[in-house]
Chain A
């Protein structure tokens, strides 16, 4: 079926062609059972003149008249007329010169003619003997033969024939009705799917546009951050420089109070500088413009360095600090400065959220980075897994609620605004860690249990043995 036909169907629900809604098989099957029951031949013809069903048996009378030259001509004329006659909404009884008749009933659907059915030839039961039109059809006719064949024609009373044809018409029209229904349903189904698809495609397009706009805004934000941080850092460096000069006594001796105030200024300025540096890092990481100077890094040295940096803080807070490096842990392939930043950020965080008496453990062990691709499936198509170093930072702190786990690596995200004030920080640390790990082609995962603690697991590619 063509598309424009389906569109018209939907618009008006009309039957375009009988053949589209009435299968030849089903109408032939109905005609056959009609013929078997009543012995009456049936033909079903569409409005366009196509024969959809033709169930009949050659009658000896018909065969006989066709052997006569006049008979053959008359028979062809009659059959032609019967096939072409238009019943115009009324049943027509069309006579044949043999004395038989054809009953032609119109088929309609939703007030429109769609074809006709023809029952016959049969001889009305009321007819007495062969008519003159048969006996005088041809000079060579053998009357006893003609009479014998005439008597063997199927006979039906006209009132019964009328009922039979009305019944068959009803059955065929019902077939048309259900065929039309099925056709409309499938057309509607396809059209609805298309319409839904079109609607979804439009919505997807709109989503994509707003996503692109958001990405642009995000880009603007990064540029803005980078510019502002840079502009902030210059005067801040001066503030720190002059503070240091004052502290060193370059402008004269200081009283104890002055020294204490300067110390505070210095501390806060350092804190501010740290924040600004983080912002700059983030900007560079997001712009993918941070350069990594990779080399083979010894994990034990890395963890010890970080440990010695945070141990004073840990002692102050009465938190136990432990470092565990497993036997056979390979070296890491990475930028030593950035690796230290990763571990320090995680360790600082761990310490920050661990209560007095708790513990923080930094660990390293050999491991593997999973190959890309779906788990186990089609592994042959993907790179084999690579040797890796697994760094873990484990704490016995407050833990992270499950609903926050997916967002903790977002820049500026704080689990709740209250913790910012309680523990300080701008929510940049983990975002930077994530970007740095990504930059090293590594992975970072977090598991946490509320009230029991949190484990950050960083997998980084191992350096080649000979490195």
Chain B
């Protein structure tokens, strides 16, 4: 988190993590597509090879709240392929929250677990306590065959520490809900640690209202 008191500006770094081909970049593309142009900046894709992320993607989002506080969200994706671990660790540095994009297909359960352990290990290596960083989990690709059923996910959600979201990122379903969920978790955590309400006079409820207002779909665009 970066705070500029003079400019009343707060920047949050949010990282989309997950196994290779789980749809991290697709999430950012969908947010960019669905968001209003005044809120979403240009999606920056850094070096790809055969449409696979090499370094990261970045989508800047700027929300000017009515309290005068300017909130900048920087959404990053990491490269999912196993060999890019050093790059993942670099992108993860100083993150305020993590959206873990899991693949709903049963065949991918192992990759999900492996990637989550890798996330935990990388957080530890860069000195971030994995139990204290806000993490939410999105089960993506709900439209594929042989995925975990909704009932299974509900059962998982009941036991899970992390909030669970469902999505079909290629069509935009669930990506905004996931982002809002991640922002909510992150803000609650930061409020607890930094007393943002005291510093900026913006309560968590009001903050989320502002986010809901700003992070809604562009009326001209619809989930496809």
User: CA–CA, A189 to B55, complex, Å?
Assistant: 8
Q: In residues 122-162 of chain B, which contact A (Cβ within 8 Å)?
A: none
> Among A10, A181, A195, which residue has its beta carbon within 8 angstroms of that of B44?
A181
CB of B74 closer than 8 Å to a CB of A: yes
Please tell me if the beta carbons of A192 and B44 are within 8 angstroms of each other in the complex: no
Q: A110-B41, A111-B41, A199-B86 are in contact. Are A11 and B93 (CB under 8 A)?
A: yes
Question: A116 interface residue, CB < 8 Å from B?
Answer: no
- Minimum distance in angstroms from A82 CB to a CB of chain B: 24
Q: Chain B nearest CB: distance from A246 CB in Å?
A: 71
Q: In the complex the two chains form, is B46's CB within 8 Å of A184's CB?
A: yes
Q: Is the CB of B90 within 8 A of A110?
A: no
A12 within 8 A of B: yes
Contact B90 A192 (CB under 8 A): yes
Contact of A188 with B60 in the complex, beta carbons under 8 Å: no
Bound form: Cα–Cα A14–B41 in Å: 13
**Distance in Å from the Cβ of B24 to the closest Cβ of chain A?**
16
Contacts of A13 in B (CB 8 A): 44, 58, 60, 74, 76
Docked CA distance A372–B42 (Å): 62
Contacts of B2 in A (CB 8 A): 12
A314 to B86, CA, bound (A): 64
The reply to whether B94 and A184 form a contact with Cβ atoms under 8 Å apart is: no
Which residues of chain B come closer than 8 Å to A189, judged between CB atoms? 55
User: In chain A between 287 and 337, which residues have their CB closer than 8 angstroms to a CB of chain B?
Assistant: none
If A181-B46, A192-B55 touch, does A12 touch B90 (CB 8 Å cutoff)? no
What is the 8 Å Cβ interface bit string for chain B, positions 14-56, against chain A (1 contact, 0 not)? 0000000000000000000000000001101011000000011
Determine if B44 and A188 form an interchain contact, defined as CB atoms under 8 angstroms apart.
no
Q: Is the CB of B13 within 8 A of A195?
A: no
Check A11–B13 contact: CB distance below 8 A. Answer: yes
Cβ-defined contact, A192 with B60, below 8 A:
no
Are B93 and A177 in contact (CB-based, < 8 A)?
Answer: no
Residues of A within 8 A of B55 (CB): 184-185, 188-189, 192
Q: How far is the CA of A112 from the CA of B62 in the complex (A)?
A: 9
Question: Would you give the 0/1 interface string for B107-121, flagging 1 where the beta carbon is closer than 8 Å to chain A?
Answer: 000000000000000
Task: Tell me if B46 and A192 are in contact (CB < 8 A).
Answer: no
Whether the pair B86, A196 counts as a contact (CB closer than 8 A) is yes
A contact residues around B44 at 8 Å (CB): 13, 177, 180-181, 184
Shortest C-beta distance, B158 to chain A (Å), equals 36
Does any Cβ of B come within 8 Å of A225's Cβ?
no
- Main SS at interface, chain B: strand
Tell me how many residues of B have a C-beta within 8 Å of chain A.
26
Q: Determine the residue in chain A with the shortest Cβ distance to B1.
A: A12
- Tell yes or no: A444 within 8 A of B by CB: no
Instruction: Say yes or no for B203: interface residue by CB 8 A criterion.
Output: no
Assembly CA distance A406 to B55 (angstroms): 42
Residue of B with least CB distance to A111 = B62
Say if the beta carbon of A134 comes within 8 Å of chain B: no
**Contact code string A174-188 (vs B, CB < 8 Å = 1, else 0):** 000100110011001
With contacts A12-B74, A13-B74, A110-B41 taken as known, whether A195 is within 8 angstroms of B89 at the C-beta atoms is yes
The answer to whether B13 and A111 have CB atoms under 8 Å apart is: no
Q: Specify the chain A residue showing the minimal Cβ separation from B58.
A: A13
The answer to the question of B166 belonging to the interface, with a C-beta cut-off of 8 Å to chain A, is: no
Q: Is the CB of A12 within 8 A of B89?
A: no
Contact assessment for A12 and B94 in the assembled complex, using a CB-CB cutoff below 8 Å: yes
Which residue of chain A lies nearest to B79 when distances are taken between CB atoms in the complex? A192
A109 to B72, CA, bound (A): 12
B11 interfacial by beta-carbon distance below 8 Å: yes
From residue B142, how far is it (CB to closest CB) to chain A in Å? 30
CA of A280 to CA of B91, assembled, Å: 59
- B42 — which chain A residues lie within 8 A by C-beta? 110, 177
Query: Smallest Cβ distance from B31 to chain A, in angstroms?
Result: 15
Check: A273 CB closer than 8 A to any chain B CB: no
Contact A188 B56 (CB under 8 A): yes
Closest CB of chain A to B21's CB: distance in Å?
21
**Residue of B at shortest CB range from A10?**
B90
Within A185-213, which residues are at the interface with B (CB < 8 Å)? 185, 188-189, 191-192, 195-196, 199
What is the minimal beta-carbon distance from A87 to any residue of chain B, in angstroms? 16
Chain A residues lying within 8 Å of B56, measured Cβ to Cβ, are 188
B47 A195 Cβ-Cβ under 8 A: no
B67 interface residue per 8 A CB criterion: no
CA gap between A13 and B13 in the complex, in Å: 10
**B87 located at the interface, meaning its Cβ lies under 8 Å from any Cβ of chain A in the complex:** yes
Give min CB distance, A93 to chain B, whole Å: 23
The answer to whether residues A195 and B58 also contact, given A12-B2, A111-B72, A177-B44 and a CB cut-off of 8 A, is: no
With A and B bound together, what is the CA distance between A109 and B90 in angstroms? Answer: 23
Q: When the two chains form their complex, are residues A188 and B87 in contact, meaning their CB atoms are under 8 A apart?
A: yes
Using Cβ atoms and an 8 Å threshold, which residues of chain A touch B85? Answer: 199
Residues of A within 8 A of B58 (CB): 13, 184
Given A110-B60, A177-B44, 10 more contacts at CB 8 Å?
A10-B90, A10-B93, A11-B93, A13-B74, A13-B76, A109-B41, A110-B72, A177-B42, A181-B46, A188-B90
Identify 11 residue pairs between A and B in the complex whose beta-carbon atoms are under 8 Å apart, listed by A's number. Answer: A11-B94, A12-B11, A109-B41, A177-B44, A184-B44, A188-B47, A188-B55, A192-B55, A192-B84, A192-B86, A195-B87
Pick the 5 closest A-B CB pairs, nearest first.
Answer: A111-B62, A195-B86, A110-B60, A188-B55, A11-B94
